[in-house]
Amino acid sequence: MTTANEPKLAKTLLKQYDRPASLDAPRSPHRPAGNNFEKWAWLFMRFSGVALLVLVFGHVFIMLAIDNGVHRIDAAFVAKRWASPYWQVWDITMLWLAQLHGGNGLRVIIDDYARKDRTRFWLKTLLALSMILVVVLGTYALLTFNTATN
């Protein structure tokens, strides 16, 4: 029997759905401290995005804005440009960062929207193969471009 001065206690059922939201189990399981892949992928997206902004806007400005713009671009212009190691490094860096940045973004989208593990596996496999193909062919074309001008 309670007296007038004692507070009344709330009725609790102690069921899973009766627990306050702040005490619910986390949505994702706790991972071991050594696995920080998602953190590094998140950081890579931020830093590569900033680097890509610099590389791409520099590329667009150089190719389209100065001198005669797009009208001066032909095979001889590309050969002259890629004869310089500076421009080779610039363009290879832009190619690799764009592929890795975009591929990482698509990997996150696949993880978010693929419902079955098997579908997720095959989509990620196709993504990895396509990224490797584009990076290898792009790098090969850039490094082996015939820079001998007539």
H or E element, residue 143: helix 117-144
The confidence score (pLDDT) of residue 12 equals 58
The crossing angle, in degrees rounded to 10, of helices 85-113 and 37-60 is 130
Q: CATH number of the domain that 64 lies in?
A: 1.20.1300.10
The confidence score (pLDDT) of residue 52 equals 97
Q: Answer whether residue 46 is part of any domain.
A: yes
Q: Answer whether residue 64 is part of any domain.
A: yes
The confidence score (pLDDT) of residue 74 equals 86
Q: Are 64 and 26 in contact (CB under 8 A)?
A: no
Q: Answer whether residue 89 is part of any domain.
A: yes
- Domain with 68, as residue range(s), is 39-144
Q: Answer whether residue 23 is part of any domain.
A: no
* C-beta neighbour count of 82 within 10 angstroms: 19
Q: Answer whether residue 12 is part of any domain.
A: no
Q: Answer whether residue 25 is part of any domain.
A: no
0.85 exceeded by the pTM? no
Q: Answer whether residue 10 is part of any domain.
A: no
Q: Could you state, in chain order, the average pLDDT of each consecutive group of 10 residues for the chain (150 residues)?
A: 62 56 56 78 96 95 83 86 92 97 96 93 97 97 79
The confidence score (pLDDT) of residue 145 equals 87
Q: Answer whether residue 150 is part of any domain.
A: no
Domains identified in the chain, total number: 1
